[in-house]
Structure 1
Amino acid sequence: MALVSLGRAALAPVLSVLVLLGLAGPAHAAQAPEPVCSVTDKRLGELSGLVSDGSRWYAINDGGTKVQIFVLGRDCAVQRIISGSTDPYDVEDLARAADGTFWLADTGDNRKQRETIALLAVTPQGKVTLHRLTYPDGPHDAEALLLDASGTPYLVTKNPLGEAGIYRPAKALASPGPTPLERVGSINIKSTDTPGGPVAGFGSVLVTGGAVSADGKVVALRTYTDAYLFPAPDRDVAAALQREPVRVPLPDEQQGEAIAFDPDGTLLSASEGFGPIRAVRGAAALVADSAEEEGGQSAGSGGEAAGGASGQGGVDTVPGLLLAVVVAGGVVFAWTKLRKRSG
């Protein structure tokens, strides 16, 4: 969902300083994203979630009112719509289980006021099963859904001022629930210089989508500007998010929230606002190459994840933002003094 509550003009000086202070580590040698086709159907103006079965793509819009999964050909044309009768609040992401069931993350909460969130399990025929969920530590806004090989869902929160939390159900999902969630880790993402997103620099630290490869061995999170690919050799999502990721820039997306894998390991990305679905060929293989270079060692040390998306040589989001505010404030103060002296 858009950063509607932030004033771009007011944040610009601070964010510019933040970008300079907190760059993530260098990106790996991935191919540049290549446009495959463009989404032009007016019904998909807020494309927020994407999955692939190898022959078709499935997409959802950001928002509520009704359950709709758009079935796309490889030319981005809408072939049909899978509809359900449930009225969601704010759907943000999409995943697909091995049995073909679609999982919609009704987890958006910009104002952090929802007592419950929900996962919607949708069959290819449109039958919807509602699973309400509760956080153990108060409301969060979450836009990333990860479904592991066993079908366990994970949610990753979107936090502009600190670490993103990683949550999963504490017990078997009930319908309608609610089922309590448990926090199993966290991840810090540092800002990058990749262009794009609704607010320059700042959008590079916000988690806006997630995906898991078909074999379950690569876990992806994305921000408005970059994708982070984590190795999961044991198909354990929580453990994967403790390891050092491969960063793949996804530049120049207006509001990039959708990310998916084709079965062959191609990484797919898309943005709200009508535009191309883009492909990074061989992206999943970059994780194996990186693991071999680094000896396959984990960046985590047990307990809560402090995911490697923090990069090397940067500044963590909260300290970096505070430092940016201080520096920007100092610049404004000095400029005011100079103007008074010259007046």
Structure 2
Amino acid sequence: MRLLCVSVLVALSALLTTPARAAQAPAPEPVCKVGEKRLGELSGLVSDGDRWYAINDGGTKIEIFVLGKDCALQRVISNQADPYDVEDLARDADGTLWLADTGDNRKQRDTVALHAVTPQGKGTLYRLTYPDGQHDTEALLLDRSGTPYLITKNVLGSAEIYRPTGKLASPGPTVLEKVGSVALKSTDTQGGPVGGIGSVLVTGAASTADGKVVALRTYTDAYLFSAPDGDVAAALKREPVRVPLPGEKQGEAIAFEPDGTLLSASEGVGESIRAVRGAAGLVAPAENSSDSSGSPGQSADGQSGDSGVPMVPALGIAVVVAGGLLWGFGKLRRRR
């Protein structure tokens, strides 16, 4: 039975894999290797231009690792708050670091949370609730005003986009509202722990310093969206530019340098932080991709149409997911 499921998984993954042509982006270049043993599950990354800030997946207290651009550890910003499952990291205009405590593989959390942490380690907890049940979320974006957006990791369909309905309250909870969704086409980029289906699972997010480009990543690729007015919800309705990030064992972290260089990183001690030079400049102006209503337009790689997963029977997708679960997807653990 297991062999049959694996065979079905391979066959149906091939049907799902209809890769769009990637942008003419430079290949990712290794910058340095993360040798810090305490940072073996690197899941979120941001840059202030001079140094990098990184967080682990999960954890029992807040720890933000400050790295030089040689990957050497400079210090650790810590706070005794006990998170459930931290997944991503963002940085606002005043330097506050926002940790997305939003992982929920088993769909059992009544609330998720954001932790706002100053460079001195002072933390503020903001609890959040979804309007429509539990979601597993590994990606966080902040818009120019500091409003957070959560993008779900969904193995059965498009990733959903949520933001607070009002000003964040501490400890809350503040109710979230769904403001859109984004579907990514399966690609043939190699990498990740779960085969071809990993190319459509959103594992991280980032925005440029000016907020004019936002990015989502999967285990295998980055998708860059034009946001000329800083409107994240509108940006994620536009046709993205795809930047392949091949060869990462479990790629979950993504960030932008102030000059528009895209950074990516994978879990695992000794894995490299890699750079795609000039990535932000690959994004065409919004008027050349689609309008804010989400109508499909011309992509930067010359293709048109929506950005959804190719049409295959829903049963086929379910079998792919079932096979993936039997063949290692359950290895993506959450500690609590």
TM-score (norm 2): 0.88
Kindly indicate whether the alpha-carbon contact (under 8 Å) linking 1:115 and 1:134 is maintained by their aligned counterparts in 2: yes
Once residues 316 and 4 of structure 2 are traced to their aligned partners in structure 1, the CA distance between those partners, rounded to angstroms, is 19
In structure 2, the partner of 1:204 is 199
- Please, which of 70, 84, 88 is the counterpart of residue 83 of structure 2? 88
In structure 2, the partner of 1:103 is 98
**What value does the CA root-mean-square deviation take over the aligned residues?**
2.8
| TM-superposed deviation, 1:11 | 4.3
Kindly indicate whether the alpha-carbon contact (under 8 Å) linking 1:210 and 1:220 is maintained by their aligned counterparts in 2: yes
How do 1:126-145 and structure 2 match up within 5 A?
Answer: 126-145=121-140
Residues 1:168 and 2:168 are matched in the alignment: no
Once residues 91 and 99 of structure 1 are traced to their aligned partners in structure 2, the CA distance between those partners, rounded to angstroms, is 22
| TM-superposed deviation, 1:64 | 2.5
Residues 1:14 and 2:6 are matched in the alignment: no
| TM-superposed deviation, 1:322 | 3.2
Once residues 319 and 130 of structure 1 are traced to their aligned partners in structure 2, the CA distance between those partners, rounded to angstroms, is 42
Helix, strand or coil: the match of 1:201? helix
- Please, which of 303, 306, 315 is the counterpart of residue 322 of structure 1? 315
Residue-by-residue CA offset, 1:19-42 (whole Å, 9 max, x unaligned): 344423110000000000000110
Kindly indicate whether the alpha-carbon contact (under 8 Å) linking 1:19 and 1:192 is maintained by their aligned counterparts in 2: no
- Please, which of 285, 290, 294 is the counterpart of residue 298 of structure 1? 290
Taking a change above 3 Å as real, the CA distance of residues 15 and 317 of structure 1, as seen in their structure-2 partners, is: farther
Kindly indicate whether the alpha-carbon contact (under 8 Å) linking 1:59 and 1:72 is maintained by their aligned counterparts in 2: yes
Residue-by-residue CA offset, 1:142-190 (whole Å, 9 max, x unaligned): 0000011110000000001101110000010000000000000001112
Once residues 109 and 241 of structure 1 are traced to their aligned partners in structure 2, the CA distance between those partners, rounded to angstroms, is 23
Residues 1:154 and 2:133 are matched in the alignment: no
TM-score (norm 1): 0.86
Runs (4 or more) in structure 1 with deviation over 2 Å come to: 7-13, 15-22, 299-303, 308-327
Instruction: Quote the sequence identity (%).
Output: 69
5+ unaligned residues in a row in structure 1: which ranges?
Answer: 1-6, 328-343
In structure 2, the partner of 1:287 is 283
In structure 2, the partner of 1:234 is 229
- Aligned pairs, number: 317
| TM-superposed deviation, 1:105 | 0.1
Bigger Rg over Cα: 1
Once residues 92 and 308 of structure 2 are traced to their aligned partners in structure 1, the CA distance between those partners, rounded to angstroms, is 37
In structure 1, the partner of 2:22 is 27
Once residues 164 and 3 of structure 2 are traced to their aligned partners in structure 1, the CA distance between those partners, rounded to angstroms, is 36
Amino acid at match of 1:150: S
In structure 1, the partner of 2:258 is 263
Taking a change above 3 Å as real, the CA distance of residues 320 and 94 of structure 1, as seen in their structure-2 partners, is: farther
In structure 1, the partner of 2:67 is 72
| TM-superposed deviation, 1:300 | 6.0
5+ unaligned residues in a row in structure 2: which ranges?
Answer: 321-336
